[in-house]
Amino acid sequence: MKKVAFICVHNSCRSQIAEALGKHFASGVFESYSAGTKLKQINKDAVRLVKKLYNIDMEQTQNPKLIDTLPKIDIIITMGCNVDCPFLPASHREDWGLDDPSGKKDEVFIKVIKQIENNILDLANRIKEQRL
């Protein structure tokens, strides 16, 4: 099974959401991890909205992690942190170019969460179809 890492500098919001939704929607297709180069507490709005939308409590199932704690990764997904995104070797990498919703209204957060959900489902399909 492929190992997918969702990478962002702080590993506190978008990458944590992607890890949670990857486990929720695609655990039979790939293993989900998230990490960053600096640790910050998981974003409280992300925790609240993922719990409301999917009944997933990220504070109970996840914690911020540094990239050097990851196993060997097959696919790297960066969230859109551009020049500051950490680099890790992998057979495939892509950037999802997501705006950071931190500090913004719930509607903005939910839009990003739904984008992540759609991207997770697309990634799972591409892996199943052996296009990655």
| Full set of structural domains in the chain with CATH | 2-128 (3.40.50.2300)
Beta bridge partners of 94: 77
| pLDDT one-digit tens code per residue, 5-43 | 999 888 999 999 999 999 999 999 999 999 998 889 999
CB proximity list for 106: less than 8 A, separation 6 or greater: 45, 49
Whole-prediction pTM:
0.94
For residue range 102-128, what is the model confidence (pLDDT) as tens digits?
999 999 999 999 999 999 999 999 999
DSSP string over 79-121: -S-GGG------SEEEE--PPP-TTS-HHHHHHHHHHHHHHHH
